[in-house]
């Protein structure tokens, strides 16, 4: 696996590593090195050299540095000399860049590959609101594509059955861990938030649609609409990530014909009448009953916040909730 060194003025590198691992999970062979106000060039270089000795494969190293021309970059350049064929350096470190680097290590074996890939992603991660403030880039003139209308009802795409790459219960719905870690792991073409409440809330619906990662479309639909979509052969080419706010919504959808075999349990917020059974899961009596109904239908449970987490035992969680709610 490619090792990663984050280098910065001050504690920025440590902070962004903490943020990245909060979203994507704890990472191996990633080190943050910092230049403190009381330190000089030799100090940060020594920290980099020490970090390199801890990597399993020091032949493939990616340096993500805060600022071109600063002391961390200058010392990185000194170390980089003589390793140009294996190592790579990228400046302008930001969170989208770091998360993409984490994800890319799963499929890319060289620092050069990852560096070339994350360069574009880092720029795409800089966005503006309101969107009209974003400068319009001139595009080369190309032949206008033929206009396509709506796909006629009854058309069968693919095998006519929507593919569910992930179905997740998460009271926060679409947030950083979902938009980055899970999306990069299961690679959906569409994220569908299934919630009657959110579908009626124009503000929440708009925020969710804006939060979609690049290249993936996000939609918000009520449960009954999702049941209709599941039976529509026009979605046969769709790889969908379903996000449910509650287990009750998931049960309704499954009973209505949404062919989900496994539910990823991410987070369930605490409220009156619920007890905390873990750091991120709070269950009430109705939640316990709902999970038992889902289990009776043969639904499997995958209790993880992010892909790198170890799976928790849902049986133990339900037992704990039942005991404390009794």
Instruction: Catalogue the active-site residues.
Output: 9, 175
CA distances in angstroms from 296 to 71, 116, 299, listed in the order given: 61, 48, 7
Q: Is the peptide bond before 41 cis (omega within 30 degrees of 0)?
A: no
Alpha-carbon gap, residue 134 to 160, rounded angstroms = 39
DSSP 235-259: GTT-EEEEEESSHHHHHHHHHTT--
Q: Please give the order of strands across the beta sheet that includes 88-91.
A: 30-35, 3-9, 61-65, 88-91
DSSP 163: E
Determine the length of the chain.
326
CA-closest candidate to residue 255, choices 220, 230, 233, 277: 230
């Amino acid at each position: 696996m490619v090792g990663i060194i984050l280098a910065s003025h001050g504690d920025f590198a440590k902070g962004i590593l903490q943020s990245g691992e909060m979203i994507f999970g704890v990472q191996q062979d990633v080190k943050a090195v910092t230049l403190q106000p009381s330190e000089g060039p030799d100090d940060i270089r020594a920290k980099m050299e020490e970090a390199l000795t801890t990597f399993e494969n020091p032949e493939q190293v990616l340096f993500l540095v805060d600022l071109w021309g600063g002391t961390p970059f200058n010392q990185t350049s000194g170390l980089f000399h003589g390793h140009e064929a294996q190592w790579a350096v990228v400046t302008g470190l930001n969170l989208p860049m770091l998360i993409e680097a984490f994800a890319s290590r799963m499929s890319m074996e060289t620092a050069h590959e990852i560096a070339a890939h994350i360069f574009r992603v880092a720029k795409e991660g800089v966005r503006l609101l309101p969107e009209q403030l974003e400068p319009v880039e001139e595009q080369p003139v190309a032949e206008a594509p033929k206009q396509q209308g709506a796909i006629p009802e009854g058309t069968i795409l693919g095998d006519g059955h929507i593919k569910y790459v992930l179905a997740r219960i998460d009271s926060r719905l679409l947030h950083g861990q979902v938009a980055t870690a899970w999306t990069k792991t299961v690679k959906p073409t569409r994220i569908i938030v299934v919630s009657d409440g959110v579908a009626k809330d124009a503000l929440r619906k708009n925020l969710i649609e804006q939060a979609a990662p690049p290249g993936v479309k996000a939609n918000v639909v009520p449960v009954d609409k999702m049941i209709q979509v599941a039976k529509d052969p026009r979605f046969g080419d769709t790889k969908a990530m379903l996000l449910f706010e509650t287990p009750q919504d998931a049960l309704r959808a499954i009973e209505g014909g949404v062919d989900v075999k496994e539910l990823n349990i991410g987070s369930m917020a605490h409220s009156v009448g619920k007890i905390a059974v873990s750091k991120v899961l709070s269950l009430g009596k109705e939640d316990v009953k709902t999970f038992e109904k889902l289990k009776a239908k043969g639904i499997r449970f995958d209790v993880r916040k992010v892909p790198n987490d170890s799976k928790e035992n849902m049986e133990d969680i339900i037992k704990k909730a039942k005991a404390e709610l009794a």
